[in-house]
Amino acid sequence: MSFFFTALQKRLTALPSTLRSMKTDYASLKSQVQNFSEFYGAAINEAKKQISAAISEMSEANKDLLEKYRKEVALRRKYHEQLVELKGNIRVLCRVKPVLKEDQQEEGQSVVVTTDPNNESSLAVLNKGKTRVFELDKVFHPQATQEEVFQEIEPLVTSCIDGYHVCIFAYGQTGSGKTYTMEGNMENPGINQRALKQLFSVIEERKDMWSYTITVSSVEIYNEVLRDLMSKDGEKLDIKINPDGTGQLHVPGLRVIEVKSFQHIKKILATARRNRITFGTQMNQHSSRSHALLCVTVQGTDLATGSKTTGKLNLVDLAGSERVWKSGAEGERLKEAQNINRSLLALGDVIQALRARHTHIPFRNSRLTYLLQDSLGKGSKTVMVVQVSALESNLGETLCSLKFAQRVCKVELGPAARKIESGGQDSGPRGTGLETPVLKKGQLIISKTFDCNPHAVFV
Q: Is 179 annotated to bind ligand?
A: yes
**DSSP-derived secondary structure letter, 414:** -
Burial class of residue 31, CB neighbours in 10 A (0-12, 13-18, 19+) = exposed
Q: Which residues contact 299 (CB under 8 A, 6 or more apart)?
A: 212, 213, 214, 215, 308, 309, 310, 311, 439
d(CA 38, CA 116): 50
414 is in an annotated binding site: no
CA distance 415 to 79: 16
Q: Which helix (H) or strand (E) segment is 249 a member of?
A: strand 249-250
Instruction: Please list, residue by residue across 428-456, b when 16 or more beta carbons sit within 10 angstroms of its beta carbon and e when fewer do.
Output: beeeebbbbbebeeebbbbbebeeebbbb
Which contiguous run of DSSP H or E holds residue 404?
Answer: helix 395-409
For residue 435, give the nearest of 423, 444, 448 by alpha carbon: 448
CB-count exposure of residue 402 (10 Å: 0-12, 13-18, 19+): buried
Q: Name the residue among 457, 153, 152 with its Cα closest to residue 311.
A: 457
The C-alpha atoms of residue 159 and residue 166 are separated, in whole angstroms, by 7
Q: Is 176 annotated as a binding residue?
A: yes
Does 424 carry a binding-site annotation? no
Q: Which of 381, 287, 368, 269 lies closest to 326 in space, CA to CA?
A: 287
CA triple 367-368-373, angle to 5 deg: 100
Decide if 159 contacts 166 (C-beta within 8 A): yes
177 annotated to a ligand binding site: yes
Strands 291-302 and 210-222: antiparallel
**Distance set, CA 238 to CA 247, 312, 365 (Å):** 16, 21, 15
Does 108 carry a binding-site annotation? no
In sequence order, which ranges of 189-239 are alpha helices (DSSP H)? 191-205
The residues near 374 (Cβ < 8 Å, ≥ 6 apart) are 165, 167, 312, 314, 380, 455, 456, 457, 458
Nearest CA to 193 among 298, 294, 94? 294
Is 109 marked as binding a ligand? no
Known binding residues for ATP: 172-179
Known binding residues: 172-179
